[in-house]
Amino acid sequence: MSSAENSGGSQAPLSKGRGAGGEVAIVKYNAGNIQSVLFALERLNVDAKVTDDADELMNADKVIFPGVGAARSAMDSLKEKELDKVIKELKQPVLGICVGMQLLFEHSEESDTECLGIIPARVKLFSPLSALQRGVGGESIKVPQIGWNNLYNLKTNLFKDVPEQSFVYYVHSYYAEMNPYCIGTSNYGIEYCGAVQKDNFYGVQFHTEKSAKVGEQILKNFLTMPQP
């Protein structure tokens, strides 16, 4: 499925400023793909506040935790602002995107980084070994993975009205290993966890804001989740 096939008409907008009736906060730190997330929320007619203020994050109705770049520098930025402690204390629905998802895990092989430890599993580097060498057939894979890939074994209301085998847009060299909290799976030479959920914390490795109608539906589902 190509990007063109994924990029049909946009979703119906939500009410202005609505998460589940309150404010949406985006974590402000030195690794966020914040502007693209803001644009995606604007397409849903949702206002969001970009903030590194602990009180604003704690009091928001929903929190989005985006991220691009390296895990070590991202964690360093969180620790500098003491946001690592704040994020772990959040009780409302939280959505980590890309590196934001990876930082929810215990450890990343990228620069041997200790992460937030919310998800008891690890993030690993894709090997350029061919899929055939892995025993699943196919040609050599390129690292990083850049482009559309399908997502399956979908669980929880994060994927309400999202069909099995939907295509989403990935850009990453590191992947989350399969674990009991996986709610969506992809395969790139090896099966890996493309989406995860533990308690009020959700994470997606793909870029919702670049995943067209499917990404918009996932964002809409997150924004309309009830409080735990």
Residue 15 neighbours by CB under 8 Å, 6+ apart: 45
**Banded pLDDT at 69 (limits 50, 70, 90):** confident
**pLDDT tens-digit series, residues 24-53:** 999 999 876 799 999 999 999 999 999 999
- Predicted pLDDT of residue 20: 39
Question: Is the pLDDT at 3 greater than 60, yes or no?
Answer: no
CATH number for the region 11-223 comes to 3.40.50.880
Counting Cβ atoms within 10 Å, is residue 197 exposed (0-12), middle (13-18) or buried (19+)? buried
DSSP string across the chain: --HHHH--SPPPPPPTT-SSSS-EEEE-STT--HHHHHHHHHHTT--EEEE--HHHHHH-SEEEE---S-HHHHHHHHHHTTHHHHHHH--S-EEEETHHHHTTEEEETGGGEE---SEEEEEEEPP--BTTTTTS-SPBPPSSEEEEEEEBS--SGGGTT--TTEEEEEEESEEEPP-TTEEEEEESSSEEEEEEEETTEEEESS-GGGSHHHHHHHHHHHHTPPP-
pLDDT, the chain, mean: 88
Residues with a known catalytic role: 98, 207, 209
- What's the pLDDT at 172? 95
The structure tokens listed for 66 are 């985006």
| pLDDT, tens only, 114-161 | 999 999 999 999 987 645 455 555 567 788 999 999 999 999 999 999
Put simply, whether the predicted model's pTM sits higher than 0.85 gets the answer yes
Q: Enumerate the domain spans of the chain.
A: 11-223
Amino acid 18: pLDDT: 33
Give me the mean pLDDT over the 67-74 stretch: 91
